[in-house]
Amino acid sequence: MTGYGKGEVSLPGRKIIAEIRSLNGKQFDLLLRLPQRYRHWEHEIRNDVARSLARGKVELSVTLESSTQCSGATINREYFEDYILQLTEIGRELELDMRTPEVTAAILRMPEVVSSDVARAPEEEHKALTDAVAKAIEEINAFRSAEGAALIADLLSRVDTIMELLGSIEPFEAARANAIRNRIREQVEAIGLTVDENRLEQEMIYYIEKIDITEEKVRLANHCDYFRAVAGGEEDAGRKLGFIAQEMGREINTLGSKANDAVIQKAVVEMKDQLERIKEQVLNIL
């Protein structure tokens, strides 16, 4: 489920800002960006986020704003001079100019020339970092909850529409059976066959029973009721709702294959449209 949250905690001379974003995903996948001084708390932060956000592609970015300029980088003069002497000698032999900004930049990238001495953050920063992340998580969870409530309301509305469409086809079922009987008799008469009326009636009953949709209607109604119950009362219901939607689709497809009636077929098409929208929205629910 998509969402955004932000948490800030201020300390003397510093401010820690945690921003967290999430996109839909079946599994939990965290991209974590931390200042170097907080790297030894990375595992703890990952666990906190994983416990709170069960699924989704999550990006957590922590930044440190400081009012004091302090660089942890140190240039090793001895190594720098050694590299420049060697390169100068090579330049004389090859008649190349080694006194260029590009050469200086290359030397600074040489091993051991620049070292970083990042001090371990004090414990008060640990608490501030934890609080900032916690605030961001709380905010994104509130965002997700609000979005989830709106999605559930939309899903239940579409399930209600499917049930209304299911009820709308009942008046046409009896007419459909009579139409099938009349069509069979007309075809028999058109051919000019002499048939046993009792045997013909048995065959028509058998055929009508094969395209009877009562069982499919009952199962679809039960699936809709189960969908409502899960959507309204279970946490982390996304996957289960997806499975129920698949079962609803099976019954709707069978209704369509047995319809044998233009009005019923139209209602089935509208049911399928609502169900496709349900399947799309279910992917946004945890």
pLDDT tens readout for residues 152-211: 899 999 999 999 999 998 888 767 767 777 777 777 777 777 776 777 677 676 666 677
pLDDT band at 73 (very low <50, low <70, confident <90, very high): low
pLDDT in the model for residue 116? 55
More confident residue, 19 or 184: 19
What the chain holds in terms of domains, given with CATH numbers, is 3-70+123-143 (3.30.230), 73-116 (no CATH), 145-282 (no CATH)
Does this model's pTM top 0.75? My answer is: no
Shortest CA distance to 268 belongs to which of 168, 127, 133? Answer: 168
Tokens standing for residue 76: 């090793």
Rounded to the nearest angstrom, the gap between the alpha carbon of residue 89 and the centroid of all alpha carbons in its chain is 60
